[in-house]
Amino acid sequence: MPDTAQTNSAVISSDRVNGTEVYGVEGGSIGHIDHLLIDKKTGRITYAMMGFGGFMGLGEDYYPIPWAKLDYDPGLAGYRTDITREQIEGAPERRDGWYDDRKWEEATYAHYGAPYYWI
């Protein structure tokens, strides 16, 4: 896990976010951030691609989570979310090119109760 707790800066390099744990409502780790997706035009982070399950990186599943659903918690040196594992597993199915499909994005943001990043 990246050492994100060593800085008091309000900004962070994306390579330091990759690997950071994500904690659910009950306080336990529900996954980790694998990488970020960024809107090319606005520069906004749109999704955190999260890894779940598996063992030592094998058999892991990856899900895009709206960035707006993650809040950094310095005490945990990780991100908190109110998203449950069941919500993640029940998210709209991704097809090839999902990141270019506005209807899929609308359904996904609605599924998680997140504000649209494109408005």
Q: Which residue has the higher pLDDT, 6 or 18?
A: 18
Residue whose C-alpha is closest to residue 98's, from 64, 73, 74, 70: 64
Q: Which residue has the higher pLDDT, 60 or 74?
A: 74
Residue whose C-alpha is closest to residue 61's, from 100, 99, 94: 94
Question: pLDDT-derived band of residue 4, with 50, 70 and 90 as boundaries?
Answer: very low
Residue 1, pLDDT > 50, answer: no
Its pTM stands at 0.85
Q: Please state the domain extents for the chain.
A: 4-107
Residue 2, pLDDT > 80, answer: no
3-state SS assignment for residue 41: coil
Strand partners, 52: 61
d(CA 62, CA 115): 21
- For position 43, what pLDDT does the model report? 92
What is the CATH code of the structural domain delimited by 4-107?
2.30.30.240
State the chain's mean pLDDT as an integer: 88
pLDDT tens-digit map of 31-56 = 999 999 999 999 999 999 999 877 66
